[in-house]
């Protein structure tokens, strides 16, 4: 997630008093540690399906166990309040039997604890004639801080995504705006086993629709649900790596080669468009396979040595970067992050390198990736590489005699570097 600039995850939590309870407790602790380590956010998402004594037990679970996680620096906050999501209120089936009044009581209880509440609700939540929504729930939904309609099974191709946008998403957003509710639509990569993905075009169309809609957030369904075919996590590239006899397909099932991390990269680019770091575009910018002309060691932590045989230092972000260290320690180590669209970012000590658009010496002090923190990794063909900023200029070591810059029109010796030398 860090490598692909995916902000956070909703940690699904089923009835904690069932047989999965101890496992879910252990996973919660691991997620907290990992999120803190890698600078990601997480929040608890209660899936209340089949939870017989939900009304009382969900309150006890939050009070006695889960509320402690809200003190973590990695726990997601909105408007200063810890985020809690509840999946399943208002679905008209025997697995979700509660009345609107019971669900409203739970929502208001969490809000009284100071929480920001997301409702993962039926896709047609505003339609009082829909058979998938229990009657009388609209007033209950109005009590939520954010509404997130569940989309699995509702769309399967680009025309369907556009149809749902026009018939439902536009009205949903208008309703939420009128009633002071945030809107978090659900974006799907598509069911791989049903051949829905169209090598990323299906997912990107949804990103485009939701960003032009003006949605306050986007929820991806899902991260690692391989059994349902909707995962964005790394997936086999070809059938040669897919177990036989299980009915699973690889990412090249439609004839287009895709790297194992393609949908992670695509999600990262969708997030950038949502945040305004990438202009609104209906054309998918993410390439299914990163070209061999950009041989960046994505995900690896490396040292960078200039032509002067000295190492590049981040200076811990306290001053402009230099290429003047005889040995490499923590400040001289950089993680190469996929910044989307074939670009990379360089991270050291939890901060990103910025080109400063070439107007001043470069720094390693940014907390997020914007245009100035994106670089082309250029293979020079002689064992060296160069880094070209968004200003189309190259980073220079300045031969270690002054702070490094990103203002060279061509890459020569000062602009050539070696990794792990």
What stretches of 49-178 adopt beta strand conformation (E)? Answer: 77-78, 81-87, 116-121, 146-149
Q: How many CA atoms lie within 13 A of 320 on its CB side?
A: 18
> Could you tell me the fold of the domain covering 8-274?
TIM Barrel (3.20.20)
**Predicted local confidence at residue 263, as pLDDT:** 96
Looking at 27-36, 186-195, 240-249, 311-320, which range is the least confident one?
Answer: 240-249
The residue extents of the domains of the chain are 8-274, 301-419
Per-residue model confidence (pLDDT) at position 167: 97
Q: Which CATH architecture has domain 301-419?
A: Trefoil (2.80)
Residue 298 — very low, low, confident or very high, per pLDDT cuts 50/70/90?
confident
Provide the pLDDT for residue 293: 41
Place of tokens 């940690």: 11
Residues 6+ apart with CB under 8 A from 56: none
pLDDT (tens digit per residue) in 255-272: 898 988 899 999 999 999
Q: 10 Å Cβ neighbour count for 66? A: 21
Cβ(149)–Cβ(119) below 8 Å: no
Residue 34 CA to residue 31 CA, distance in Å, equals: 5
Write down the pLDDT at residue 389.
95
Tens-digit pLDDT profile for residues 339-384: 988 899 999 999 999 999 999 999 999 999 999 999 999 887 667 8
- Whether 290 has a pLDDT exceeding 80, the answer reads no
Q: pLDDT tens for residues 174-233? A: 999 999 999 999 999 999 999 999 999 999 999 999 999 999 999 999 999 898 899 999
For the beta sheet containing 301-302, the strands, ordered from the edge strand earlier in sequence to the opposite edge, are: 301-302, 334-340, 343-348, 351-354, 363-366
Query: Which element (helix H / strand E) includes 102?
Result: helix 100-112
pLDDT at 329 over 70: yes
Whether the CB-CB separation of 190 and 262 falls below 8 Å is answered with: no
- Name the residue among 55, 56, 48, 61 with its Cα closest to residue 93: 48
CA distance 53 to 16: 11
Rounded Cα distance between 87 and 96, Å, is: 10
Share of the chain above pLDDT 90, in %: 83
Provide mean pLDDT across the span 132-157: 97
Beta bridge partners of 304: 419
């Amino acid at each position: 997630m860090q490598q692909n600039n995916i902000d956070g995850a909703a940690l699904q939590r089923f009835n904690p008093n069932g047989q999965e309870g101890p496992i879910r407790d252990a996973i919660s602790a691991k997620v907290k540690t990992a999120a803190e380590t890698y600078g990601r956010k997480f929040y608890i998402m209660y899936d209340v399906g089949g939870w017989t004594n939900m009304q009382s037990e969900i309150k006890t679970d939050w009070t006695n166990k889960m509320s402690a996680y809200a003190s973590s620096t990695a726990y997601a906050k909105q408007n200063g309040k810890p985020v809690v999501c509840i999946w399943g209120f208002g679905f008209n089936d025997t697995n979700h039997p509660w009345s609107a009044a019971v669900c409203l009581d739970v929502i208001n209880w969490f809000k009284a604890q100071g929480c920001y509440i997301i409702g993962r609700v039926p896709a047609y939540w505003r339609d009082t004639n829909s058979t998938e929504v229990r009657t009388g729930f609209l007033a209950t939904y109005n009590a939520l801080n954010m509404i997130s309609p569940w989309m699995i099974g509702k769309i399967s191709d680009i025309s369907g995504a556009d149809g749902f946008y026009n018939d439902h998403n536009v009205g949903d957003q208008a309703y939420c705006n009128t009633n002071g509710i945030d809107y978090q639509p659900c974006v799907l990569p598509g069911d791989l086993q049903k051949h829905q993905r169209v090598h990323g075009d299906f997912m990107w169309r949804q990103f485009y629709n939701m960003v032009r809609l003006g949605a306050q957030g986007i929820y991806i369904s899902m991260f690692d649900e391989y059994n349902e075919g909707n995962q964005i996590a790394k997936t086999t590239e070809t059938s040669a790596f897919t177990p036989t006899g299980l009915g699973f397909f690889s990412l090249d099932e439609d004839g287009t080669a895709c790297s194992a991390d393609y949908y992670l990269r695509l999600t990262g680019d969708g997030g950038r468009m949502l945040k305004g770091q990438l202009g609104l575009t209906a054309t998918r910018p993410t390439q299914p396979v990163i070209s061999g002309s950009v041989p960046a060691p994505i995900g690896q932590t490396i040292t960078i040595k200039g032509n002067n045989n000295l190492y590049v230092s981040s200076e811990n972000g306290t001053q402009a970067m230099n290429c003047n260290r005889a040995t490499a320690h923590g400040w001289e180590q950089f993680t190469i992050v996929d910044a989307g669209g074939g670009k990379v970012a360089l991270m050291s000590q939890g901060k990103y390198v910025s080109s400063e658009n070439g107007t001043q010496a470069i720094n390693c002090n940014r907390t997020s990736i914007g245009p100035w923190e994106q670089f082309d990794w250029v293979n020079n063909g002689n064992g060296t590489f160069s880094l070209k900023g968004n200003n189309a200029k190259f980073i220079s070591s300045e031969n270690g005699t002054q702070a490094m810059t990103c203002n060279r029109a061509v890459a020569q010796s000062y602009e050539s570097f070696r990794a792990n030398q």
